[in-house]
Amino acid sequence: MIKSYGLCEKRGDIKQIFLEQLTLYDHLELAIKKYKSKIALVEKSRKLTYIELYKETSRVSGGFLRLGIKNGDKVLIQLPNCIDFVIVSFALFKIGALPIFVLPSYRENEIDEIIKKTKPSAMVINDSYLGFNYKNMAINLKKKHKSINWIINVDKDDENPCIKDFKESNVKYEKPLYNDTAFLILSGGTTSLPKIIPITHNACAYYAKECAINSKVNEKSTYLAILPIAHKFALSMPGVIGTLILGGKVVMCESGSCEEVFPIIENEKVTITSLVPSLINLWLEVLEWDKKHDISSLKVLQVGGAMLSSNTAKEIVKNMQCNLQQVYGTSEGVICFTDLDDDYNVLYNSQGKPISRFDEIKIIDENSNIISNGEYGELLVKGPYTIKSYYEKDVSKDNYFTEDGFYRTGDKARIVFNNKIQIVGRLKEQINRAGEKIMPSEIENLLCKHNNIKSSAVIAIEDEVLGERSCAFIISDNVNLKKADITKFFIDMGVASNKIPDQMEFVDYFPLTGVGKINKKELKKWILK
Ligand code: AMP
């Protein structure tokens, strides 16, 4: 069945929701005018009011203009959660240049591909984070890619322009239109490397506000950004963007560790945050014995990005005084939330319904037939903020979009409780490691670059902490090959650390299926025996 979650009988209705002909910067400016000296952003001891955010954004956009960065140019941003991330992003939104948001965990291998496809004219980085030197990596990438004119540092830098030295400018610039692409984000990736997703100003403002309505975020709210804000969840569901355009306060946090997070929740009176299931399990463990922090200000805990077991959902409700909100989201578009007043059965066993009444979903079987309520199939979605194609022209549209404009999520789902969506897994092979999506085929290709590895097969194994971990089965002709050698090989290749197999098993052969493919189900049994 096709389900449209509201009043969208006529397709013409969709036009009405885009009546807000504003860019993301216009939205921020409205909030600045209204909330002036109210605190907008907090990062450790650094605090910025809305007016200060306005001044900083003007100064930094001036700096970009002076460097010649203009409407339509792309700027790759690789920063941890920090206030400068927000200033740089809104400065670029203002002048119509497009940030490409890249997770801090990405390394040369991944970024190289993204640069090839997007040709950014600058990279914004900080010196180092969690022991990794981003400046060295940026220097290497700039040498390889002619498009990159500037490495821009948020830290003091003798060789490169630094955000701190940027000054306002009178240079005339071409403002973006409300329906222009505002930024590029990267999908979890169902092929070997992430796909690039263009998000327009009005689509982002629309879904961020709809998310805010669904999670009751307003000017009184304080959002704690724990997950990387380069990802759509913490960036805009409602996340940083939704909270700021509604006049709330955003607090930045570097890690999800309870030692860092609980004092911040207490001191800043955080009202809402979002987590992936692997982090919430750690929180629950610590909360069993940590009674010294008062986290009662937290009213909404969004959990999504990967499967939340109904037992963990129950634990959250039992042990934390906040509302749990299950979140299912895709970088490509559709977002589903449980309602804050959903009954427990719905809350524990579903991911709720799409946030917009204009979202349409259908669930189909392997022959593309629409199937009825309660039956499992692939979830297809279409709606005002779901993309109709990827940024890359070479990504085959047919694999990801139907002729009638639905995006194929690749997720196995069914309709439960009359109109709620329950996600039960992936139809396509994928490892969901603490919310980060990794393709086994990508790890296999990387393993096979090693001279001593003849063949490999990578599978997902359920993991108490990570949700899923990667396990690589390796056939090698060198009996002296060690796991540490392979780990070093991955690091030397400049691969994101979450792609280094969590578990490695050296084997003599692979079990095969009837048609001669590696039998990954059997491999999993080997591990679980
Ligand atoms: P990404 O593009 O990184 O945002 O990943 C989107 C994918 O994450 C979805 O297509 C799902 O496979 C998975 N996902 C997101 N939220 C959930 C959830 N609540 N439960 C299960 N899987 C989820």
Decide whether any atom of ligand 1 lies within 6 Å of the 330 Cβ. yes
φ, ψ of residue 425 in degrees (nearest 5) = 155, -170
The span from the CA of 298 to the CA of 222, in Å, is: 9
Range 312-335 average pLDDT:
95
Quick count: other Cβ atoms within 10 Å of Cβ 85? 27
Expressed in angstroms and rounded, the spacing between residue 220 Cα and the centre of ligand 1 is 29
Q: Does residue 188's CB lie within 6 angstroms of at least one atom of ligand 1?
A: yes
pLDDT at site 4: 53
- Nearest residue (by CA) to ligand 1, atom 20, is 307
Q: Ligand 1, closest atom to CA 410?
A: 10
Ligand 1 pocket mutation pick from 102, 330, 386 by most atoms within 8 angstroms of CB = 330
Pocket of ligand 1 contains residue 307 by CB under 6 Å: yes
Supply the DSSP symbol for 325. E
Categorize the per-residue pLDDT at 12 as very low, low, confident or very high, splitting at 50, 70 and 90.
very low
Residue spans of the domains in the chain: they are 3-7+20-416, 430-528
Which residue has the least CA distance to atom 15 on ligand 1?
A: 305
Q: Is the pLDDT of residue 26 over 80?
A: yes
Confidence of residue 182 (pLDDT cuts 50, 70, 90): very high
Residue with CA closest to ligand 1 atom 6: 330
CA of 332 to the centre of ligand 1 (A): 10
Pick the range with the lowest mean pLDDT from 253-262, 421-430, 460-469, 516-525: 516-525
pLDDT at 347 over 70: yes
What pLDDT, on a 0 to 100 scale, did the predictor assign at position 8? 37
- Look at residue 202 in the predicted model and tell me its pLDDT: 95
Position 143 scores a pLDDT of: 97
151 CA to middle of ligand 1, Å? 33
Tokens of 376: 């499992």
Quote the longest CA-to-CA distance of the chain.
69
Pocket test of ligand 1: the residue of 187, 411, 422, 430 to mutate, having most ligand atoms within 8 Å of its CB, is 411
What percentage of the chain has pLDDT greater than the value 90? 73
Instruction: Report pLDDT for 192.
Output: 53
The answer to whether residues 121 and 135 touch, using CB atoms and an 8 Å cutoff, is no
* Average pLDDT score over residue span 29-52: 98
Q: With 50 as the cut, is the pLDDT of residue 9 above it?
A: no
pLDDT of residue 306: 85
State yes or no: pLDDT of 190 exceeds 50: no
Task: Enumerate residues 6+ apart whose C-beta is below 8 A from 268.
Answer: 42, 222, 224, 249, 251
Concatenating the DSSP letter of every residue in 76-143 gives EEE--SSHHHHHHHHHHHHHT-EEEE--TT--HHHHHHHHHHH--SEEEE-SEETTEEHHHHHHHHHH
**Predicted local confidence at residue 278, as pLDDT:** 79
Whether 11 has a pLDDT exceeding 50, the answer reads no
**Over residues 312-324, mean pLDDT:** 93
pLDDT at 396 over 90: no
pLDDT for residue 517: 59
Question: Across residues 300-304, what is the average pLDDT?
Answer: 97
Residues 6+ apart with CB under 8 A from 56: 48, 87
Q: Which of 307, 308, 422 to mutate to test the pocket of ligand 1 (most atoms within 8 A of CB)?
A: 307
Distance 411 CA to ligand 1 centre (A): 8
Confirm or reject: Cβ of 221 under 6 Å from ligand 1: no
> What is the atom index within ligand 1 of the atom nearest the CA of 303?
19
Instruction: Tell which one of 363, 390, 432, 498 to mutate to probe ligand 1, the residue whose CB is within 8 A of the most ligand atoms.
Output: 432
Residue 187 CB–ligand 1 contact under 6 Å? yes
Average pLDDT for 469-496: 93
Contact between 461 and 527 under an 8 Å Cβ cutoff? The reply is yes
Q: Write a three-state SS string for 29-50.
A: HHHHHHHCCCEEEEECCEEEEH
- Residue 302 CB–ligand 1 contact under 6 Å: no
Alpha-carbon distance values, 434 to 118, 231, 293 (Å): 27, 13, 25
Cα dihedral sign, 195-124-329-241: negative
pLDDT at 17: 53
Q: What pLDDT does 511 receive?
A: 87
More confident residue, 170 or 395: 170
CATH class for the domain made up of 3-7+20-416: alpha beta
Point out which residues pair with 225 in neighbouring strands: 252
Ligand 1: atom nearest CA of 189 is 2
For the ranges 191-200, 334-343, 415-424, the lowest mean pLDDT is seen at 191-200
Q: What single-letter amino acid sits at 194?
A: P
Q: Is 262 in the pocket of ligand 1 (CB under 6 A)?
A: no
Q: Would the pLDDT of 127 be above 70?
A: yes
Residues 480, 462 contacting (CB under 8 angstroms): no
pLDDT digits (tens, 9 = 90+) for 402-434: 999 999 999 989 999 989 999 988 887 789 899
- Cα distance between residue 369 and residue 366, in whole Å: 7
430-528 CATH:
3.30.300.30
Is the confidence at residue 6, as pLDDT, over 60? Answer: no
